[in-house]
Amino acid sequence: MLNFYYLYGMESDGRHSGMQDGVARFLDYLKAEKRYSPLTVEAYRRDLAEFSAYVQETFGDESWAEADRLRLRSYVAWLAERRMAPYSIRRKVSALRSFFRHEMKAGRLKSNPALRLPLPKAGKRLVFFVEEGGMAQLTREEAVGASGQPLAPASPSGHPETAIKANVTGRKPKRKSPFETYRDYLILELFYGTGMRSAELLSLQDRKVDARQAVLTVLGKRNKERQIPLHASLCEAIAVYRRLRTEEVGALAGETFFMTLSGQPLSRSYVYRLVHTCLRKYTTIEKCSPHVLRHTFATHLLNEGADLNAVQMLLGHSSLASTQIYTHNTIEKLKKAYAEAHPKA
């Protein structure tokens, strides 16, 4: 069993403080110099902590200098035995490779044992997305409620003042205020209408949402800002949401855009449960996370003929290769159209 204390960042008996100090220095470097987001830094911490705990329990190591190629191969085999996906294994080894590179530059290690390490082939990543018909049904029905009728008088723009009745906790749902129900509806619309990440939505500031100019500014990975255009119906929905928020919460401009009725920022778990519950109603796909709506945004744009480079900029990808995973779905659609229409297909 892996060292529980080290794996979860808690205090242990102090025997392996050298390994912990190395990780702490590296994480400080990622935050201060690389400007990685808190979520990315936490992912590196977990990966390094898992490997450290493994070599401690398996080999009794007390320093990073003992982490040679043999130990890394043993670790990769252990991950494979746990039926971890090849892509996840490669990501974990990539984190170790970056750490060892940093230690070499600092003169604390002489070599990088993670270089040219045999790894399982990753294969093609499966991209889960909602079909256009499913998204149209989801946003329409969640906007008017389960009865198919508005739950409250509609705004002048045609948007209902209340929306989702989803039970996001698995318990008997409490009655939500107009602000809360419309907020949850707008969360779904913004995910699908902008392709932003969950962390970007949660950290979105009110002053960064400019409905008049039809654009919002998000803080993405590595603290890079990017602007995303807003379509007309989203701008109208934002205006309705802000009015309800002012009436029920009294929030001032400049604060977090999405918040609870008490004025606190929403939690990551709440947004996940909200999206998961709603997607389960209208799709049969395996994954029902907020990231699925990001995949759906990109896939639908490409299916409608959007330029790949433009989609890359909208998603905030640093590499075009990251965006190209969505072209697989588009090509499959073209193949299907070709097979159905061509006389000799």
Percentage above 90 pLDDT, the chain: 55
Tracing tokens 């892509």 back to the chain, one arrives at: 87
179-227 pLDDT, tens per residue? 999 999 999 999 999 999 999 999 999 999 999 999 999 998 878 899 9
The single residue of 25, 108, 165, 291 carrying the catalytic annotation is: 291
Residue spans of beta strands (DSSP E) within the chain: 209-210, 215-219, 225-229
Q: Is 291 designated active site?
A: yes
Residue 288's Cα: distance from chain center in Å? 12
Does residue 318 or residue 275 have the better pLDDT? Answer: 275
What is the rounded CA–CA span in Å between residue 345 and residue 334?
A: 12
Distances (CA, A) of 126 to 319, 326, 329: 18, 9, 10
Q: Select from 42, 43, 44, 46 the least CA-distant residue to 6.
A: 46
68-126 pLDDT, tens per residue? 999 999 999 999 999 998 989 999 999 999 999 999 999 999 999 999 999 988 766 66
What is the rounded CA–CA span in Å between residue 52 and residue 10?
A: 14
Q: Is 224 designated active site?
A: no
Does residue 12 or residue 220 have the better pLDDT? Answer: 220
Q: pLDDT tier at 36 (50, 70, 90 boundaries)?
A: confident
The single residue of 176, 197, 245, 295 carrying the catalytic annotation is: 197
- The CA-CA-CA angle for residues 273, 278, 283, to 5°, reads 120
Percentage above 70 pLDDT, the chain: 81
Look at residue 249 in the predicted model and tell me its pLDDT: 92
Tracing tokens 């379509």 back to the chain, one arrives at: 231
What is the rounded CA–CA span in Å between residue 309 and residue 330?
A: 15
* Residue 318 pLDDT greater than 70, yes or no: yes
Residue 211's Cα: distance from chain center in Å? 24
164-191 pLDDT, tens per residue? 344 444 455 567 888 999 999 999 999 9
Backbone φ and ψ for 256, nearest 5 degrees, come out as -55, 135
The single residue of 221, 268, 273, 276 carrying the catalytic annotation is: 221
